[in-house]
């Protein structure tokens, strides 16, 4: 039996949005605004593509507690991308009330992943 590749059943996805086309810059901005409007705290994580599903990801700095400016979050994403150009980068919205992740999506994948 041969396994067909490059379809939704064999594609490596890291989150629900992984089945959709990559987000544009405007769509990423809108998701950041959504996280902030929910009152959640943004956090950025990064990891090498080969390790994305094997263990916990490395955190980029500390979570951005109380940050209300989407452009500041975008600037941190850009800094992380500059420091780790070959890593996958995701944005997380932490919910203080439920003490869990309220939102989580990949904002950058290196070419070829």
Cα–Cα dist 18/8, whole Å: 10
Q: At what angle do helices 70-83 and 25-37 cross, to 10 degrees?
A: 120
21: confidence class by pLDDT, cuts 50, 70, 90: confident
Model confidence, pTM = 0.85
Q: What is the 3-state secondary structure (H, E, C) of 3-67?
A: CCCCCCCCCCCCCHHHHCCCCCHHHHHHHHHHHHHCCCEEEEEEECHHHCCCCCCEEEEEEECCC
Note the pLDDT tens digit of each residue in 24-50: 999 999 999 999 999 999 999 999 998
pLDDT of residue 19: 75
pLDDT of residue 14: 72
pLDDT of residue 1: 47
Note the pLDDT tens digit of each residue in 72-85: 999 999 999 999 99
Q: Is the pLDDT of residue 92 over 90?
A: yes
């Amino acid at each position: 039996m041969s396994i067909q590749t490059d379809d939704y059943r064999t594609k490596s996805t890291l989150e629900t949005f992984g089945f959709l086309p990559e987000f544009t810059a405007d769509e990423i901005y809108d998701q950041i605004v959504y996280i902030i409007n929910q009152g959640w705290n943004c956090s950025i994580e990064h990891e090498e593509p080969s390790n994305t599903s094997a263990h916990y990801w490395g955190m980029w700095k500390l979570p951005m507690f109380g940050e209300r400016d989407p452009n500041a979050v975008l600037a941190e994403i850009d800094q992380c991308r500059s420091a780790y150009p070959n890593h996958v980068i995701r944005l997380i919205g932490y919910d203080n009330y439920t003490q869990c992740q309220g939102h989580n999506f990949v904002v950058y994948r290196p070419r070829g992943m």
